Amino acid sequence: MMMASDAILAEHYAHHRDKDFFEGLKQFMSSSPIICLLVEGVDAIAVSRKMAGATNARDAEFGSIRGDFAMSTSANIIHVSDSEKSAKEEEVRFFKGDEIFDWQSIADPYLYAQDEKK
């Protein structure tokens, strides 16, 4: 859990810098602590994006995080990286090296078949 600084948010949302909602987005994202997760696994990004639901929460399917817990596009309840490249950039942005651990979940044998593991 962390409070995202203006500098982190400006970097994270740099692609929105010239849009009308940029300042409001930064204000919303700095209004309370955020919980950062670093998830890995088979098709982790695609699966996580499906679990999150459509960016516009009003279009998100019921059963998705946005579909069940959100109504807004800009006051967004969850962010999921859109690619491995952006995930690596966000990992460096939101995590210190000593906060990342290499470990084996005891649930792995129940989540993946042997031939699915990378």
Which residues fall within 8 angstroms of residue 109, CB to CB, at 6 or more apart? none
Residues in the chain: 118
Q: How far apart are CA 7 and CA 13, in angstroms?
A: 10
Please indicate whether residue 79 is annotated as part of the active site.
Answer: yes
Residue 23 β-bridge partners: none
Q: How far apart are CA 11 and CA 5, in angstroms?
A: 10
| Residue 31: other Cβ atoms inside 10 A | 11
Q: By the 8 A CB rule, do 6 and 30 touch?
A: yes
Active-site residue list: 79
